[in-house]
């Protein structure tokens, strides 16, 4: 049975958590491979709601191993608090069901502070970050001055690492006339929590290779969406990591041949959080209606999401870049009460029609959507579990998405509940 890599095909918040949790029933290992605790996944299982940020969605299932890969940046304090909260809901987390890559980079308090300082500086464009230090932590990783999980095990080496990172950060803070970081306090804070986090530390690349040899089934779980990818998204209004499917290989420490089936999660309409271009955004009653019905508020920040019509151009582009084999379509029930539904099928840019989303920010903000109109179904689809039970107009809408994007619809989610899923193609089945 092939492994499955799950990524978002829009600006995140597509419902990856539920789909990964659903897939986890068949899988043995669930690996989170990029991002940080800026991306939340909400699961509803037997009436209990779990809000995960760093922990892979498979953690709520028994007899599964959840892995946080080296591509993730980890705030150790946030992770320990998340573990504490999830354990209160009856989920036992130990070194037997949670592995963390020893070479994963850490988010320190100085990263969170710098994130906030930058967002608050006047006369600069706001990116709309979650202020959790994700970007600054990735900067230090690429700048080769980051502190990694394994560094907590060696106090002498940790001291040298802190010297390197403070040379950089205190220089910035001095220039911005901010209070300098106290090395002694930072090291003491890290030493207090090091033993609690190091128990999960493992050479994850080696473990994944062992699982592969044993023919264990692996689900690779992405965070955010392709349109927030540092290279392929709406730059600079993006996250600080690669969110495309190919990042699973580097972020988990395994060869591309391990990735296999790529499943893109796609919401039946479009949302985004924070600043940046959004061609199909609806700043009207319909946009508000979709937001309220879809409960479009961030799991991590509780920020209200911007809502708009389905952008088929963007989804097709995302699926092409990630090499998508199947689409898991979510939140179709949110559109139940709309008389007419529109899908963006092209753009107009400077008077010309184009069939792709340009890379230039200037062009991205200028494109005008070209829409195809659909009749709504005005019937309840929530909880439907069979394709034939969907209203005819719902089926037409879904078939068009499949045809336009050139990708099979493998499943349709009709509510946040785990069981309310229509399976059309099994991602684990060999083709």
Which pLDDT tens digit goes with each residue over 172-207? Answer: 999 999 999 999 999 999 999 999 999 999 999 999
The gap between the terminal CA atoms of the chain, to the nearest Å, is 10
Which residue is catalytic, options 37, 41, 111, 232?
Answer: 41
Question: What's the helix, strand, coil split of the chain in %, to 5?
Answer: 35, 20, 40
CA distance 357 to 421: 31
Closest Cα partner for 75 from 95, 93, 54, 59? Answer: 54
Closest Cα partner for 326 from 186, 191, 231, 423? Answer: 423
CA distance 197 to 18: 27
Number of Cα atoms under 13 Å in the Cβ half of residue 35: 33
* Secondary structure class of 172 (helix, strand, coil): helix
CA distance 235 to 248: 21
Closest Cα partner for 78 from 151, 144, 133, 23? Answer: 133
The predicted pLDDT at position 122 comes to 61
Task: State the DSSP code for 98.
Answer: E
Per-residue pLDDT 10s for the chain (431 aa) are 689 999 999 998 898 877 887 888 889 999 999 999 977 777 777 778 888 899 998 898 889 999 999 999 999 999 999 999 999 999 999 999 999 999 999 999 999 999 888 887 766 666 667 788 999 999 999 999 999 999 999 999 999 999 999 999 999 999 999 999 999 999 999 999 999 999 999 999 999 999 999 999 999 999 889 999 999 999 999 999 999 999 999 999 999 999 989 999 999 999 998 889 999 999 999 999 999 999 898 666 667 899 999 999 999 999 999 999 999 999 999 999 999 999 999 999 999 999 999 999 999 999 999 999 999 999 999 999 999 999 999 999 999 999 999 999 999 999 888 788 899 988 887 65
Task: State the DSSP code for 104.
Answer: P
Kindly give the residue spans of alpha helices, DSSP state H, lying in 150-203. 155-175, 183-198
296 exposure class (CB count in 10 Å sphere: 0-12, 13-18, 19+): buried
For the entire predicted model, the pTM comes to: 0.92
Task: State the DSSP code for 304.
Answer: B
- 232 in catalytic set: no
* Secondary structure class of 124 (helix, strand, coil): coil
CA distance 161 to 381: 55
Cis, peptide link before residue 391, omega less than 30° from 0: no
- CB count within 10 Å of CB 303 equals 13
Closest Cα partner for 313 from 263, 284, 348, 288? Answer: 348
The predicted pLDDT at position 363 comes to 97
CA distance 224 to 138: 16
Closest Cα partner for 104 from 14, 11, 197, 167? Answer: 197
Beta carbons of 416 and 397 less than 8 angstroms apart: no
């Amino acid at each position: 049975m092939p492994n499955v890599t799950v990524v978002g095909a829009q600006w995140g918040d597509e419902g990856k958590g539920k789909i990964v949790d659903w897939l986890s029933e068949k899988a043995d290992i669930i690996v989170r491979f990029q991002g940080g605790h800026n991306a939340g996944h909400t699961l509803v299982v037997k009436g209990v709601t779990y809000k995960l940020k760093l922990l892979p969605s498979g953690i709520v299932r028994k007899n599964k191993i959840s892995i946080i890969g080296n591509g993730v940046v980890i705030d150790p304090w946030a992770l320990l608090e998340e573990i504490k909260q999830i354990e209160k809901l009856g989920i036992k987390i130990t070194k037997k069901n949670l592995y963390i890559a020893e070479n994963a980079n850490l988010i320190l308090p100085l990263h969170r502070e710098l994130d906030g300082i930058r967002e608050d500086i006047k006369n600069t464009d706001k990116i709309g970050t979650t202020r959790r230090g994700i970007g600054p932590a990735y900067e230090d990783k690429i700048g080769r001055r980051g502190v990694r999980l394994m560094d907590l095990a060696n106090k002498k080496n940790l001291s040298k690492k802190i010297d390197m990172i403070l040379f950089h950060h205190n220089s910035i803070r001095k220039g911005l006339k901010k209070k300098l970081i106290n090395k002694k306090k930072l090291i003491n804070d890290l030493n207090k929590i090091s033993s609690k986090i190091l128990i999960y530390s493992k050479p994850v690349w080696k473990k994944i290779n062992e699982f592969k040899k044993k023919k264990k089934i692996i689900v690779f779980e992405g965070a955010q969406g392709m349109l927030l990818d540092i290279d392929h998204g709406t730059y600079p209004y993006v996250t600080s990591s690669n969110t495309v499917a190919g990042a699973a290989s580097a972020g988990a420490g395994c060869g591309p041949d391990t990735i296999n089936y790529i499943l893109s999660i796609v919401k039946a309409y479009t949302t985004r959080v924070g600043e940046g271009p959004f061609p199909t955004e609806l700043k009207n009653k319909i946009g508000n209606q979709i937001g309220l019905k879809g409960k479009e508020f961030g799991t991590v920040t509780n920020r209200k999401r911007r809502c708009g019509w389905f952008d088929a151009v963007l989804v097709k582009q995302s699926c092409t870049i990630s090499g998508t084999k199947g689409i898991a379509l979510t939140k179709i029930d949110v559109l139940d009460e709309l008389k007419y539904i529109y899908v963006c099928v092209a753009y107009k840019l400077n008077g010309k029609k184009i069939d792709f989303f340009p890379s230039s920010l200037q062009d991205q903000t200028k494109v005008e959507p070209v829409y195809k109109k659909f009749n709504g179904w005005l019937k309840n689809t929530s909880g439907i579990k069979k394709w034939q039970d969907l209203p005819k107009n719902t089926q037409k809408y879904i078939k068009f998405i499949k045809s336009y994007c050139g990708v099979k619809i493998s499943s349709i989610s009709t509510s946040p509940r785990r069981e309310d899923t229509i399976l059309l193609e099994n991602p684990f089945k060999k083709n």
